[in-house]
Structure 1
Amino acid sequence: MGTSAKPRRITMTPAALRVRAAAAKLFYERGIHAVGVDLIAAEAGVTKKTLYDRFGSKEQIVVEYLADRDERWRALLAQYLDAAHPEPSARLLAVFDASLAWAQEHSSKGCSMVNAHAEISDASHPAYPIITGQKEWMLALFTRLARDAAPDGADHLGRTLMLLHEGALVAHGLNIFPNPIRQAREQAQVLLAAAGDTATER
C-alpha cells in the first residue's frame, strides 16, 4: 500500500479556529454528511460568508477537522512512546496505552478516521488521504516497533497488532462490552511474550 498524498491545508485564523472547533464537535457527534455549513456557522458564531472565505468549501472543513485530530493523536502517541521503557514490547504496549487515554478523552464514539471512512469512501475526496494515511502510518509504526521485538516476523506481528488495535477502537465506539482497548492490550502482551520466546529459541 502506498503513502497517501497530503491534502491542501489552510492558514488558521481565529475565526477559522472557531469554525473548526464547532465542526469537529458536530461532525464527530452527528456525522459528517448530517451536518451542514449553516449549522457549523451558527455554532461557531460566524457568517456563512466568513466560513466560505476561510475554508472555501465544506470539504476543506472536513480536511482540517480530520487533520487536526490526526496531528493531536500523533503528538500524544509520541509522548507515550518517549516515556515508555526502551524494551521493544513496552514501546508496543505504549501504543495501546496512548489509545486508551485518547479514547477516554476524545473518542467516546470510536475512531474518527474509521467513522469518517464510513461516510467518505471516494478516494477523490480531499480528506480521504488523511483517513487512509493515518492507518498506513499506524501500520508502519507497529511494523517498525515489531521489528525490534521479532526481527524475522515483523510484518506479520505488526499487522496482527494493528488488527488488535483497530478492532479495539471499533469495539470501543460500539460500546458492546467494557474496556476493549485494555483487553486488546492484554492480548498484545500475550502475543509479544510468545514472539519473544520464539526469538529466544532461535
Structure 2
Amino acid sequence: MMSESSAARQQILETASRLFYQKGTQNVGINEVIAESGVAKRTLYRHFPSKDDLILEVMQHRASQWLTWFEEAVSSKGGTAKERLLATFDVLQNWYANPDFRGCPFINVVLEIADATHPAHQVSIQLRESIRTYIMQLASEAGVKDPVSFSQQYLLLIGGASLMATIEANPTGAQYAKQTLSVLMDAG
C-alpha cells in the first residue's frame, strides 16, 4: 500500500503530466497543478521545490513509460527483426491516431523551453538515444549493413511522421515512413 505522502506525490505527477501534455509546460502554472491535483501548496513544494523540478520528474517518468510501452508494443507484433522494425511505424500510427494525441511530448518540451541546458532537454536527448540504440539493435539483427547510419535515418523518419501527425492531425505519415524504411532496409 502506498503511503499518504507517496500517493500525494503520484497524484501531483499524474496531474502535472496530463496538464503539461494538454496545454504545454509554459501554459500551466503551479497553482493550476495544485488545484487540479487536490493537494496543498506545501505538499507540492515538499515534493517538488520548483516548477522545473516538477517538469523534470514528469518528463523522466513519461520517457521511461513511453520507451517501455514502445518496446513491448513492437515485441508483441512478433516476427523477424525486419518485420519488427517495420511494425514500429504501425505502433506509432496507433499512438498518433489516439484522439488525445497532442504531439510527441519530448519534442514539445524542447520547443517550449528555449533553454537548451534545461534538464528536460537532456531527458529528450536520452530518450532519443535509447530509441536509436533499440533500432540499431533491431537493424543489426535484421542484417542491415550499416545499423548506425540506419538508426539515424530512422530517427528522421519518426520525426517527420510525428510532425505530420501533430500538424495535420494525420496519423498516416507513419505508413509513409514505414514505406521509406522498407526501401532503406532493402537498399542496404
Aligned residue for 1:33, secondary structure, equals helix
Q: Offset of 1:177 from its aligned partner? A: 4.5
Partner of 1:82: 75
Between the aligned partners of 2:53 and 2:178, the Cα distance in structure 1 is 35
Aligned AA (2:140)? R
Q: Offset of 1:72 from its aligned partner? A: 1.5
1:35 aligns to 2:36 (yes or no): no
Aligned AA (1:61)? L
1:169 to 150, 154, 162: 162
What does 1:8-87 align with in structure 2 at a 5 Å threshold?
13-87=6-80
Unaligned ranges ≥5, structure 2: none
Between the aligned partners of 1:151 and 1:194, the Cα distance in structure 2 is 9
1:157 aligns to 2:150 (yes or no): yes
Distance of aligned partners of 1:194 and 1:148 in 2 relative to their CA distance in 1, 3 Å threshold: same
Partner of 2:88: 95
What TM-score comes out, normalization by structure 2 length?
0.86
Between the aligned partners of 2:94 and 2:65, the Cα distance in structure 1 is 13
Q: Offset of 1:174 from its aligned partner? A: 0.9
Aligned AA (1:24)? S
Q: Offset of 1:176 from its aligned partner? A: 5.6
Q: Offset of 1:182 from its aligned partner? A: 2.5
- The question of whether the paired residues in 2 share the 8 Å contact of 1:16 and 1:51 is answered with yes
Distance of aligned partners of 1:57 and 1:31 in 2 relative to their CA distance in 1, 3 Å threshold: same
- The question of whether the paired residues in 2 share the 8 Å contact of 1:146 and 1:158 is answered with yes
Q: Offset of 1:107 from its aligned partner? A: 5.7
- The question of whether the paired residues in 1 share the 8 Å contact of 2:67 and 2:131 is answered with no
Aligned AA (1:180)? G
Q: How many residues align?
A: 184
Distance of aligned partners of 1:37 and 1:57 in 2 relative to their CA distance in 1, 3 Å threshold: same
- The question of whether the paired residues in 2 share the 8 Å contact of 1:142 and 1:162 is answered with no
Between the aligned partners of 2:160 and 2:33, the Cα distance in structure 1 is 31
Cα displacement string for residues 146-177 of structure 1 (whole angstroms, at most 9, x for unaligned residues): 22334432222221122111110111111264
Cα displacement string for residues 93-128 of structure 1 (whole angstroms, at most 9, x for unaligned residues): 232222223333486111000000002243432322
Between the aligned partners of 1:106 and 1:29, the Cα distance in structure 2 is 12
Aligned AA (2:115)? D
1:189 to 158, 171, 182: 182
What TM-score comes out, normalization by structure 1 length?
0.81
Aligned AA (2:33)? I
Between the aligned partners of 1:37 and 1:19, the Cα distance in structure 2 is 10
Distance of aligned partners of 1:154 and 1:192 in 2 relative to their CA distance in 1, 3 Å threshold: same
Partner of 2:139: 146
Between the aligned partners of 2:185 and 2:100, the Cα distance in structure 1 is 27
Percent identity at matched positions? 28
Between the aligned partners of 1:176 and 1:105, the Cα distance in structure 2 is 10
